[in-house]
Amino acid sequence: MLIFENAATEPMTILLIDDQPDVIKFLSLLLEPYGQIVFAKDGQAGVARAMSLVPDLILLDIQMPGIDGFEVCRQLKASPVTAAIPVLFVTSGNDEAMEVAALEAGAIDFIAKPLRPQVVRARVAAHLALRRQNMDMQRLVDLDGLTRIYNRRYFDGMLEIETSRHRRHGAMLTLAMIDVDHFKRYNDALGHQAGDDCLCQVARALKLATRRPGETLARYGGEEFAAILPGCGYQDADSYGLWITRQVNALRIVHPDSPTSGFVSISVGLVAGVPGEGVQPRDLLRAADAALYSAKRDGRNTHRLVGAAQAPA
């Protein structure tokens, strides 16, 4: 069976939004070889599923109870979470005005009923292949050139998305800010090439320690890293801070001019909790930075954790 996969080697996901069960069943059987099929039976539920799952492709009916397909598509394209997902309209209407309206709403293609299996398969396969190519190209844009983990631009976008999502669902979220201790002294003692090698080793250790689904690790700038841990509560956040500190210690990278340790170490500041109303990403960053400052003030090579309730509203 042919399965299209993204660069993370996970099956691609297709969301069907249609109020007719027979159409959903037909398309599910037809498109099952191309990835995981999920569905919603009205526009509002479709928007919610798209926001939570972030599928790779959406097949959307136009005429549905409640909000119609045009409005669904407009809402999807207005959200940074779903704006890049290609939308194919699938509808019994086939006049030119409706096709133009579909494209103006943000759809990438239009498939008219009655559905012809070969045409549907060909168009879905083509758009999934294009989606995969676009995702691969976007990953190159989103990666830090030195460490090959995510860069600050990508991180800032994900923090905006996750803060909003966790606020909406009342879920716990953890943000960690990570700084390599006395890195300027390391560069001054061993040179910038050694410094670059050090950052790459630290990045690899942090990446291996930050692997749960949905977690985001980025180089935030210079010798500073940052991590977003969705669904991570206070106790797990405390364990993560201790864990990554130990992982970097275990690298045993000799630091010839560190007043903290003979080896490269990190300081970690974490904020954990449910983002409340009015709490913005900048507030979480400010709280995590304050926790990081506390870790440095208390001797470095350690972590400090605060609750999200302490982030200014």
Q: How far is CA 131 from the centre of its chain?
A: 16
Q: Is the pLDDT of residue 151 over 60?
A: yes
In tens, the pLDDT along 54-70 reads 899 999 998 888 899 99
In tens, the pLDDT along 101-135 reads 888 888 998 888 888 999 999 999 999 998 888 88
Q: Is the pLDDT of residue 309 over 60?
A: no
User: Which class for 126: exposed (0-12), middle (13-18), buried (19 or more C-beta within 10 A)?
Assistant: exposed
Which residues lie closer than 8 Å to 157 by C-beta, 6 or more apart? 80
CA–CA separation, 267 vs 249, rounded Å?
Answer: 11
Q: Is the pLDDT of residue 313 over 60?
A: no
CATH code given to domain 152-310: 3.30.70.270
Cα end-to-end span (Å), the chain: 51
Given CA atoms 129, 135, 141, 146 in this order, what sign does their dihedral have? negative
Q: What is the pLDDT of residue 93?
A: 64
163: pLDDT confidence band, cut at 50, 70 and 90? very high
Pick among 3.40.50.450, 3.40.50.2300, 2.60.120.260, 3.40.50.300: CATH of 13-141: 3.40.50.2300
Question: Of the ranges 101-105, 158-162, 248-252, 291-295, which one carries the lowest mean pLDDT score?
Answer: 101-105
In tens, the pLDDT along 1-19 reads 343 334 444 679 999 999 9
SS3 content of the chain, % helix, strand, coil (to 5): 50, 20, 30
Average pLDDT value for the chain: 90
Q: Do 284 and 306 touch, CB atoms closer than 8 A?
A: no
94: pLDDT confidence band, cut at 50, 70 and 90? low
CA–CA separation, 154 vs 33, rounded Å?
Answer: 31
What distances in angstroms separate CA 158 from CA 49, 176, 267, one per listed residue?
A: 18, 14, 23
Task: Decide which of 309 and 295 is more confident.
Answer: 295
The bridge status of strand 224-230 relative to strand 173-180 is antiparallel
In tens, the pLDDT along 275-298 reads 988 889 999 999 999 999 999 999
Domain-wise residue ranges, the chain: 13-141, 152-310
CA–CA separation, 142 vs 154, rounded Å?
Answer: 6
Q: What is the pLDDT of residue 100?
A: 84
Among 105, 77, 72, 111, CA closest to 91: 111
Segment 217-240 shows an average pLDDT of 96
Which residues lie closer than 8 Å to 197 by C-beta, 6 or more apart? none
Q: What is the pLDDT of residue 39?
A: 94
152: pLDDT confidence band, cut at 50, 70 and 90? very high
3-state class of 215 per DSSP? Answer: coil
Segment 252-265 shows an average pLDDT of 95
Which residues lie closer than 8 Å to 106 by C-beta, 6 or more apart? 73, 74, 76, 77, 87
Q: Do 23 and 62 touch, CB atoms closer than 8 A?
A: no
**3-class DSSP string for 138-157:** HHHHHECCCCCCECHHHHHH
CA–CA separation, 124 vs 141, rounded Å?
Answer: 26
